[in-house]
Amino acid sequence: MKKEKNSKENKTKKKRKRLIKLSLATKIFLGLIGLSMLLVISISLFVSANYSKRTNEKYQYIGYSITRTTASMINGDKVLNYGETKEPDDYYYKILTYMRKTKQNFGVKYLYVIIPRDDYFIYIWDVSETDPKNVIGVTAPYGNVMGQDYTKRVMTEDVPPEEIIKYKDISDGELASAVSPVYDSNGNRVAAVCCDIDQNDYYIEAIDMFLRIFFASILIMGLPMLFYYLNISKNFIFPVKVLTKATSDLVENIDKGAAYVSNIHTGDEIEALSESFEKMDEELKEYISLNEEITAEKKRIEAELDMASSIQASQLPNIFPAFPERTEFDIYATMTPAKEVGGDFYDFFMIDKDHIALVMADVSGKGVPAALFMMISKILIKTHVQNGESPGEAIANVNNQLLENNEEEFFVTVWLAVINLKTGKGVSVNAGHEHPVMRRAGGEYELHKYRHSPVVAAMEDIPFKEREFELHPGDSIFVYTDGVAEATSPDLELYGTDRLLEALNKNPEAESKEILESVKNSIDEFVSGAEQFDDITMLSFVYKGV
């Protein structure tokens, strides 16, 4: 016994070591580092993004200021003339000189004037070329579709400054372009001033800004985070370690009488937790002393429930074939309680040599109280029917008897039928029970729906309506409790009567036992192991005739 205990303790220690892959101190330290890095990166990205936005706005302003100012100085009528003659004059050189100074002063990459066409454009000025004769009148295709579409828009409509375009050039890298139209004397747009600003330096500046902010934030936040970690380590991590060891010792030495004494004084919830451990030590010792008594009591209750279940099962007809000497019918019934004992019951018995009574009932509630009420109901129904009372009279008398001293206010739903085995004629009463299922010889099982009488034990002196029916050789009756139709799948879907009929009609010619087995298999497959919430009780009766 001692070896088994030591083995269990060793397994517990190994399991605890496997669980503690990272200590609490390590997790908190890594958490602080992660939080710090998140804050540092967020701050750096925010500042860098704001810097990028401001720089981008600056480039937009510079680009459009250059193109619009230059366009305002150019005579549009002369531009068209230069495109045709391809000969520069004094005015041409004057504008060229202005554009070169502008490029130099503002540090733009390219500054040029073109006459746009659909698929190409004509150069007029380009400050990147030293000899104007190499520029004026030269045609060239658009560098990309974006620039082509953008230039066409500028020549046909007003484009706001925020629509400056950015693109990647094969040789020059990232460029930002602004375009403004040149007007002739009639107000027509005849040319476009284009300005390209190098974006490569801008990205370098943005990265440099991010790194400077990043490292500055680390320096600023590092010391507070370190101080915070040391404070947490002293007032939280260390006490938790003490409590962890104390808890382990408490469990391992619980049967040795060793007492835990709280010695943590942090003045907060951890100190209160330590004091709770001290109190728990005392309560655990009391619990161990009571545990054996509780276990013994539980076993006694389980034994009594098993006995009650056996008694209940013995009260229901459970020997089949029930009447081996009778050839007029075949009958079979089952009950599967949701608990050790249930509230459902079935019964069948011969009233005389020509009449048989069939009973299917469901008591409200579950457990032992419902089982006791069920046994009383079963005995009363059988007694009144065997005394020669009709189904309606029997149920009415049982109703009044059950209402006497019914302090728990139980009620029972009942389907009762008495069948003449010679003629096949029968009389039934349905007191709030499920609709019976019937099958005519050669046909299929069908629900027989009609208005029911009230449940039994609901109120005194109420009548219970009788219904007459007639069976012919080969006809069948199937009755059941609501635990069948309300069987629930793992997806909380009800079994329902449609699936019940489908199971019954898989082999409608089968004997009663096979019919019930088919339905039970269908229910089990549907619920797929889900918990059974209600008793499942079924009875099948096949009339074969005299």
- What does the pLDDT look like over 464-488, one tens digit per residue? 999 999 999 999 999 999 999 999 9
Per-residue pLDDT reduced to its tens digit, 139-150: 888 777 777 787
| Composition of the chain by helix, strand, coil, percent to 5 | 50, 20, 30
Per-residue pLDDT reduced to its tens digit, 396-434: 999 999 999 888 889 999 999 999 999 999 999 999 999
Whether 233 has a pLDDT exceeding 90, the answer reads no
Whether 235 has a pLDDT exceeding 90, the answer reads no
Three-state DSSP state, 62 = helix
Question: What's the whole-number mean pLDDT along residues 518-533?
Answer: 91
* Spatial distance between the Cα atoms of 162 and 154, rounded to a whole number of angstroms: 13
Specify the pTM.
Answer: 0.50
Report which of 480, 511, 509 is spatially closest to residue 330, judged by C-alpha positions.
511
Kindly report which listed range (67-81, 232-246, 393-407) carries the lowest average pLDDT score.
232-246
Q: Please report the DSSP string for 434-482 in residue order.
A: PPPEEE-TTS-EEE---PPBPPBTSSSS----EEEEE--TT-EEEEE-H
Quote the pLDDT of residue 85: 86
Three-state DSSP state, 74 = coil
Strand partners, 428: 417, 467
Distance from the first to the final alpha carbon of the chain: 70
Residue 151 pLDDT grade (very low, low, confident, very high; cuts 50, 70, 90):
confident
Quote the pLDDT of residue 1: 47
Quote the pLDDT of residue 201: 64
**165-169: strand order across its sheet:** 139-141, 120-126, 110-116, 189-198, 173-183, 165-169
Q: How many CB atoms lie within 10 A of CB 47?
A: 17
Residue 212 pLDDT grade (very low, low, confident, very high; cuts 50, 70, 90):
confident
Instruction: Name residue, tokens 């082999």.
Output: 507
Quote the pLDDT of residue 246: 67
Per-residue pLDDT reduced to its tens digit, 2-24: 455 555 556 555 555 554 566 66
